[in-house]
């Protein structure tokens, strides 16, 4: 017979371990009062046996049935019992996520941990948006964030094309203007009614690729299909960070 359990077998003390063979199962079924294993059910633990294609539940066990009726050991209901100690150690080793704010209301939110650099786990919602020829890509994203009162959002997916792309190269204060037919390869960034930070990469008709910091003046040529995420219980704010010399993202939750 084959048996499986939803807990590790080697976590259980010797007197608490599951039956080894069909003879022990029959002993339980014929004389449950005298069985070492009497009724087996502690929470989610279930033993199953199979014989000639038939599957049967061994027993639904209560914790007292893991040891003989005349056993003088400490009952499993007490904290010092070895089974409780093993399960307690298992629980303590499991990661515990911090509580989260379930609203998207910026009032009452404080800087996240590590000086506003890291949050706990939060849920997200999704919004879909399509831009049409002539729309300004960055301005449209900022208008969406303000119109929808988005405190913390991000670009999840984007495809489309531009007739003009205005990019600021890395480490430069001036911008580069690309006129012509360009396909949007990637658009990524964080969005908020408090300010956004977005990067764009595009390819021309020869598949030459250009990228940089997205600036206003980037115009949609045929379409821009966007999937935008909204993070609940978080607010993005931007303020001067002396470490970089720029207005950077600080996070509230």
Does the model's pTM come out above 0.85?
Answer: no
pLDDT tens for each residue of 2-42: 433 333 444 444 444 455 556 665 665 565 444 444 333 33
- Among residues of the chain, what percentage have pLDDT more than 70? 57
Q: What is the pLDDT of residue 109?
A: 82
Relative to beta strand 47-51, strand 153-168 is: unpaired
Write the CB contacts of 93 (distance below 8 Å, at least 6 apart in sequence): none
213 touches 112 (CB < 8 A): no
Handedness of CA 72, 75, 78, 82 (dihedral sign): positive
Query: pLDDT per residue over 199-251, tens digit each?
Result: 999 999 999 999 999 999 999 999 999 999 999 999 999 999 999 999 999 99
Instruction: At 84, list the tokens.
Output: 């409780």
What are the structure tokens assigned to 50, written together? 């199979």
Beta strands in the chain (DSSP E): 47-51, 54-59, 124-131, 153-168, 176-191, 197-203, 209-214, 219-231, 235-241, 246-252
């Amino acid at each position: 017979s084959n048996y499986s359990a939803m807990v590790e077998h080697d976590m259980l003390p010797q007197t608490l371990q599951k039956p080894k063979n069909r003879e022990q199962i029959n002993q339980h079924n014929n004389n449950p009062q005298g069985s070492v294993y009497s009724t087996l059910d502690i929470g989610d633990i279930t033993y199953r046996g199979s014989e000639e294609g038939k599957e049967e539940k061994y027993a639904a066990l209560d914790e007292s049935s893991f040891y003989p009726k005349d056993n003088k050991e400490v009952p499993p209901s007490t904290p010092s019992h070895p089974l409780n100690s093993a399960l307690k150690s298992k629980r303590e080793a499991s990661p515990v996520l911090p509580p989260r704010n379930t609203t998207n209301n910026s009032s009452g939110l404080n800087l996240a941990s590590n000086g506003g650099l890291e949050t706990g786990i939060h849920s997200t919602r999704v919004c879909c948006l399509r831009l049409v020829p002539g729309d300004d890509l960055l301005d449209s994203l900022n208008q969406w964030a303000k119109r929808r009162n988005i405190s913390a959002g991000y670009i999840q997916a984007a495809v489309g094309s531009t007739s003009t792309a205005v990019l600021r190269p890395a480490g430069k204060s001036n911008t580069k203007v690309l006129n012509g037919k360009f396909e949007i390869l990637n658009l990524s960034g964080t969005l908020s009614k408090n300010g956004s930070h977005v990067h764009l990469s595009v390819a021309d008709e020869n598949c030459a690729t250009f990228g940089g910091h997205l600036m206003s003046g980037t115009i949609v040529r045929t379409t821009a299909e966007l999937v935008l995420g909204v993070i609940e219980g978080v607010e993005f704010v931007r303020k001067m960070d002396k470490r970089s010399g720029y207005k950077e993202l600080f996070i509230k939750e």
